[in-house]
Amino acid sequence: MTNPTLLILAGDGIGPEVMAEVKKIIGWYGDRRGVTFDVSEDLVGGCAYDVHGVPLADATMAKAQEVDAVLLGAVGGPKYDVLDFSVKPERGLLRLRKEMDLFANLRPAQCFDALADFSSLKREIVAGLDIMIVRELTSGVYFGEPRGIFVEGNERVGINTQRYTESEIARVARSAFELARKRGNRVCSMEKANVMESGVLWREVVTKVHAEEYPDVALSHMYADNGAMQLVRNPKQFDVIVTDNLFGDVLSDAAAMLTGSLGMLPSASLGLPMANGRPKALYEPVHGSAPDIAGQGKANPIACILSFAMALRYSFDMGAEADRVEAAVAKVLADGLRTADLMGAEGGTPIGTTQMGDAIIAALDASLV
């Protein structure tokens, strides 16, 4: 039996620092659980541009297509702001998503009990929160044509096109319904069918997929602007939210702050199954490269560690081991250990990136006793 294969793309800014803590946990699984991963590493983003002149080399793209899962840290930084749009670090991430056809982006928003008072909302609103936003990732306004900045008459005009096919909507809807069956069995689909034709089609297709394939799952519809309000008013009314690329980007970041910190949130981007039955997959923290703290040992590695837990669950069918990692994170937070982004009025013991990784390893060790 061959080992699962992982490609690590640590990227820029704090990416290498938080990924170093994930590599400790991967090593722990080999040493303590007999679960060995074949790990390779490469470049993406600004560091790839520095070496190759592009944010993602063709050879790296080929590797990503072959492995069972890709783990990515973060991309970008102010030194690359002057680059042409076509070679900015973020284009490397977009290329991975597009060419791997990672159409379903899973962004959980889970509020650990120890951090409920850290949220900007009241404890009773966020305590116990556990929702999943499924965002369509490879189409919509970010990819639609025509796009660009053009001259019309005596002024410039910026154009982006919202475009969806029935099949693009149907496949991400299926991903949401499948997830819901393993959770609370409820899906809320969000769009703007009141003002956008793409929203009308979205609602029609999601409704059709539900009726024909998932009648056992409760389905509701909501306009995305109301959905944003409801996430702040009463987020625990939701289980799985499915939405398009643009709205998913906005709504998932809004949901992120319910949990207290972007440094806590993982994500998974999944595509169609490969020959071995595993979906093509990329896992990454929701946070950015945080160049203001890069190299200072202040970054929170938890989102990256939880992204690895998602890989265990969705790429390798190791749900119990994913639970183990998540429980170790919960234990460390319950013990009051806090990186700088988690230090609020309620206090806690301040620690750095490496110390947080070590504490989670210690909690994993304790889980075996």
Please identify which of the residues 117, 225, 335, 358 carries the catalytic annotation. 225
In the numeric block, the tokens 């919960």 are attached to: 330
Does the pLDDT at position 113 exceed 90? Answer: no
- Is 253 among the residues known to form the active site? yes
Q: Say if 286 falls within a structural domain.
A: yes
Exactly one of 117, 130, 253, 323 is catalytic; name it: 253
Q: Residue 345 — pLDDT band, cuts 50, 70, 90?
A: low
Is the same domain home to 242 and 217?
Answer: yes
Average pLDDT over residues 216-228: 98
Q: Is 253 exposed, middle or buried (0-12, 13-18, 19+ CB in 10 A)?
A: middle
- Of the candidates 258, 290, 324, which is a domain's last residue? 258
Over range 315-319, report the average pLDDT: 92
- Asked if residue 135 has pLDDT above 80, the reply is yes
Mean pLDDT of 5-22: 98
Is 249 an annotated catalytic residue? yes
Pairing of the two strands 240-243 and 130-136: parallel
Q: How confident is the model at residue 213 (pLDDT cuts 50, 70, 90)?
A: very high
Quick one: what percent of the chain has pLDDT higher than 70? 98
Asked if the structure places residue 86 within a domain, the reply is yes
CATH for 251: 3.40.718.10
Query: Burial, 112: exposed, middle or buried (Cβ in 10 Å; 0-12, 13-18, 19+)?
Result: buried
| Structural domain includes residue 124 | no
Of 164, 249, 280, 314, the active-site residue reads 249
First to last CA, the chain: 28
- Whether residue 121 lies inside any domain: the answer is no
Residue of 2, 1, 4 whose CA lies nearest to 321 = 4
> Are 92 and 146 members of one domain?
no
Asked whether residue 79 is assigned to any structural domain, the reply reads yes
Q: For residue 1, what are the domain limits?
A: 1-110+261-369
Task: Reply yes or no on whether the pLDDT at 1 is more than 70.
Answer: no
- Shared domain check, 65 and 158: no
Residue type, 32: R
* Residue 119, in any domain of the structure: no
DSSP letter string, 300-351: --HHHHHHHHHHHHHTS--HHHHHHHHHHHHHHHHTTEE-GGG-BTTB-EE-
Q: Give the mean pLDDT of 136-151.
A: 94
Catalytic residue among 29, 142, 164, 314: 142
Q: Are residues 234 and 184 in the same domain?
A: yes
Please enumerate in sequence order all residues whose Cβ is within 8 A of that of 335, keeping only pairs 6 or more positions apart, or say none: 349, 359
Pair 213, 223: CB distance under 8 Å: no
Q: What's the Cα-to-Cα distance from 176 to each of 5, 115, 130, 335, rounded to whole Å?
A: 26, 27, 15, 34
Specify whether 101 is located in the same domain as 135. no
Q: Are residues 273 and 287 in the same domain?
A: yes
Q: For the sheet containing 69-74, what is the strand order?
A: 38-42, 5-11, 69-74, 279-285, 266-273, 104-110, 130-136, 240-243, 186-191, 218-223
- Residue 122 inside a domain? The answer is no
Q: What is the DSSP string of 83-102?
A: S-GGGSHHHHHHHHHHHTT-
Does residue 153 share a domain with residue 243?
yes
Q: pLDDT band at 346, cuts 50/70/90?
A: low
Q: Does residue 3 have a pLDDT over 80?
A: yes
pLDDT at 369 over 70: yes
Annotation marks residue 225 as catalytic:
yes
Show Cβ contacts of residue 367 under 8 Å, excluding neighbours closer than 6 positions: 324, 327, 328
Residue ending a domain, choose from 234, 258, 282:
258
Domains in the chain, number: 2
State whether 267 and 249 are in the same domain.
no
- At 227-253, the pLDDT tens digits run 999 999 999 999 999 999 999 999 988
For the cut 80, the answer to whether the pLDDT of residue 111 exceeds it is yes
- Nearest CA to 132 out of 334, 318, 314 is that of 314
User: What would the pLDDT profile of 264-287 be if each residue is shown by its tens digit?
Assistant: 889 999 998 887 888 899 999 988
Over 90: is that where the pLDDT of 295 sits? yes
Does some domain include residue 117? Answer: no
Domain end: 258, 292, 321, which one?
Answer: 258
Q: Which of 12, 88, 192, 280 is catalytic?
A: 192
